[in-house]
Every structure is written in structure tokens, then in C-alpha cells.
Amino acid sequence: MRLFLTMSAEDVNESVFVRACRGQDVPYTPVWFMRQAGRSLPEYRKVREGIPMLEACQQPDLVCEITMQPVRRHGVDAAVLFSDIVVPLMAAGVGVDIVAGTGPVIESPIRTMSDVDKIAELDPAHVSYVSEAIALLRTELNGTPLVGFAGAPFTLASYLVEGGPSRHHAKTKAMMYGAPDVWHALCTKLAAIAGTFLQVQIDAGVAAVQLFDSWAGSLSLPDYERYAMRHSAAALGAVADTGVPRIHFGVGTGHLLSSMAQVGTEVMGIDWRTSLTDAVERVGDRAVQGNLDPAAVEAPPEFLEPEIRRILSDGAAAKGHVFNLGHGVLPDTDPEALTRVTAMVHELSRR
């Protein structure tokens, strides 16, 4: 008799997480956490010691280990690739660093059409370390699905134009309003880079992809529709025919949800400020992901349990529900609290 130690690709496609993304029946609600890799885990800080963030992202063995850590520890239903939204920009030749405690910092901010012209396309060969890491993970994960991701054009553009993280996105909006030709040329390039990066990850074997539009919430609805929506649609449209579920997520985007849903993905990520019940009504016939407040993870059980029950019951009205936080894990979160949330979601949702 032969013993099969690794699960096949078909098994990943029948995993609880992928089935929920597709709106198929599941025995319990799957759960994973945005920013589960890295951040609060002591075993992460240990392996990252002395290695700058963007260097770590280029070491397949290390990427594999860091991606595995939260899966081993919490028993979550999906892994998320350890990487960053600026990795494909770096690979396309943009001078970028990730500064601890600050975030991405751009060497020469993009302000003019000639700056835009200098940004290259993404050559898949320049992110071969990502493909290698995913190949390692497919064996290591043994049937647990892996989520790949990219940054949405608006969010990437805001880093490139501001030169780093920004609260008001004033320079970004100055370009949008004052030089729309430069803006759209920039976002067209970023959509192509994001689309290629998603395709590379799908070719290497991720089970789902997520587009992070972290800062889209700073746009009004008309501005989102005028300046951002078509570029996100292009990035996600590049992988529409792959059959791999696509998750579309933004922070503070309750007012944009109907338009973000129109971009057309299988799953809409819902931030924690938005009522899940309202969201389910507004996103149409698709699955939802979310949306526990990241700060509630450490709340006492008398608050947390009813809150998780409420999210599960609100989510049950959607075509499918993947439990997650309404944004990423906060840096100081006690990892044991995440393990407890995972167990609670599984127990309270078991049918």
C-alpha cells in the first residue's frame, strides 16, 4: 500500500477556504488573518533578526518558513505569502526600501510623465524567488491553501507619488486632479505590474489572490470611480480567466463597496468599520471576507464570543463567508489571542 504524504492540487481546490470563496457548502467557516505572517510572532522576529524586510522577501527558504509559522501555530485555514506590495515595484526597478515602523520609502518619488516613463514592466524572471518560495510552500503546506496578493494601483501610486506613507494623500490627489494624464499613465503601468505579479503567483500555484487597496478609503465615491476603479479592474481582470478566486479588499471603504464589487471578483473583503449585513446586501452575489476589528482580538471572551457569533451569523447571509479581521493583525497582538479566535470561529460555525 502506498502512503500519500502530500495532498494534490485538486485537494487544495476542494479545501474549506477555496470552497467558501466559491460560495460552496463548507463544514465550518474558514479563517485566516491579514498580516498573520510576521508582526507579532516571536519566532518571526527570531528568523528575521538582522535581515532587512525586502531582502527577507527574496530568500525562498525564509519566505517559506515565515509563511508557515502562523499556519503551524494557529491552525488557520489559509496561509498568506510572506512578501509585500512593494516587492513587484522593486523588481521593476523602482528604488524602494521598507523602513521598520514607517513602511515603504521611495528613493525618487514619481511626479512627472518622464518619471512614469522610467518605470519598467515587471519581468516574471525578476521575481523568480517568489515562484521558488511558492513551490517550496506547496509541499510544506500539505493541502492548506496559499493566498497570493498584490497592491492595487491607487495604493501603490500613493506610495510612489508621496514618497512614503501618507495620512492625507495630498500629493497623490494633486496629481490626480492637476495632471490626470500623468496619473492614468502611472496607474496603467501599476495595473500591469500588479496583474503580472498576480499571474506569476497563480502560475506557481497559489490557491487564491487578494488585491489590497489599503488607502482607497481616502477617496470619495466619484473620485474612486474616476481615478482608481478602472485600474483595479485591469489588475484583477488580468487573472479573471484562471479560475483562481480573487479577493478585493480596501480599508475604510464602506462608501465605495458597491463600486469595488462592480470591479468583479469572487470575494469582497469588508473592513471592520462597515456593517457586514449592509455589505452583504451591497456586494451582490459573491462571498465576503471579514470583518472582526483587529483591536477586538484581545477583548475578554464575554465580548469576543458574541461578536464572533454575530459576524458568523451576518456572514451566513452571503454566498460564502471567510472569517478574517477587518484589516491586518496589529503589531502588538498577543499571538495566543489569534489562536483562540481561530478555535472559536471553527467551533461556533461547525454545522
Active site residues: 35, 39, 48, 84, 159
Choose one: 32-40, 190-198, 270-278, 284-292; the region binding ligand CP3 (CB under 6 A).
Answer: 32-40
Q: Which of 132, 136, 35 is nearest to 76 (CA)?
A: 35
214 binding ligand CP3? (CB under 6 A): yes
65 binding ligand CP3? (CB under 6 A): no
Nearer to ligand CP3, 30 or 38 (CB): 38
**Residues between 128 and 147 that touch ligand CP3 (CB under 6 A):** none
Q: Are strands 146-151 and 267-269 parallel, antiparallel or unpaired?
A: unpaired
Using CB under 6 A, count the residues that bind ligand CP3: 24
DSSP 257-311: HHHHHHT--SEEE--TTS-HHHHHHHS-SSEEEEEE-GGGTTS-HHHHHHHHHHH
Choose one: 33-41, 113-121, 254-262, 302-310; the region binding ligand CP3 (CB under 6 A).
Answer: 33-41
Nearer to ligand CP3, 89 or 319 (CB): 89
101 binding ligand CP3? (CB under 6 A): yes
Nearer to ligand CP3, 23 or 109 (CB): 109
Residue whose CB is nearest to ligand CP3 in the complex, by number: 38
CA distance 27 to 317: 16
Q: How far is the CB of 45 from ligand CP3 (least distance, A)?
A: 8
The only residue of 21, 34, 133, 263 in contact with ligand CP3, by rule CB under 6 A: 34
31 binding ligand CP3? (CB under 6 A): no
Nearer to ligand CP3, 149 or 197 (CB): 149
98 binding ligand CP3? (CB under 6 A): yes
CA distance 305 to 25: 24
**Residues between 234 and 273 that touch ligand CP3 (CB under 6 A):** 251
Cis peptide before 324 (omega within 30 of 0): no
Q: How far is the CB of 44 from ligand CP3 (least distance, A)?
A: 7
5 binding ligand CP3? (CB under 6 A): no
Q: Which residues contact 18 (CB under 8 A, 6 or more apart)?
A: 12, 145, 207, 208, 245
**Residues 245, 69, 94, 163, CA torsion sign:** positive
152 binding ligand CP3? (CB under 6 A): no
Query: 343 and 48 in contact (C-beta within 8 Å)?
Result: no
Q: How far is the CB of 207 from ligand CP3 (least distance, A)?
A: 15
Query: 291 and 274 in contact (C-beta within 8 Å)?
Result: yes
Q: How far is the CB of 42 from ligand CP3 (least distance, A)?
A: 12
CA distance 174 to 113: 14
The only residue of 15, 18, 69, 84 in contact with ligand CP3, by rule CB under 6 A: 84
Which residues are registered as beta bridge partners of 291? 324
80 binding ligand CP3? (CB under 6 A): yes
38 binding ligand CP3? (CB under 6 A): yes
Task: List Cβ<8 Å contacts ≥24 apart for 337-342.
Answer: 337/297, 337/298, 338/33, 338/36, 338/40, 338/70, 338/74, 338/297, 339/73, 339/74, 339/75, 341/31, 341/292, 341/297, 341/304, 341/308, 342/31, 342/74, 342/75, 342/76
| Interacting residues toward ligand CP3 by CB under 6 A | 34-39, 53, 80, 82-85, 98, 100-104, 149, 165, 212, 214, 251, 328
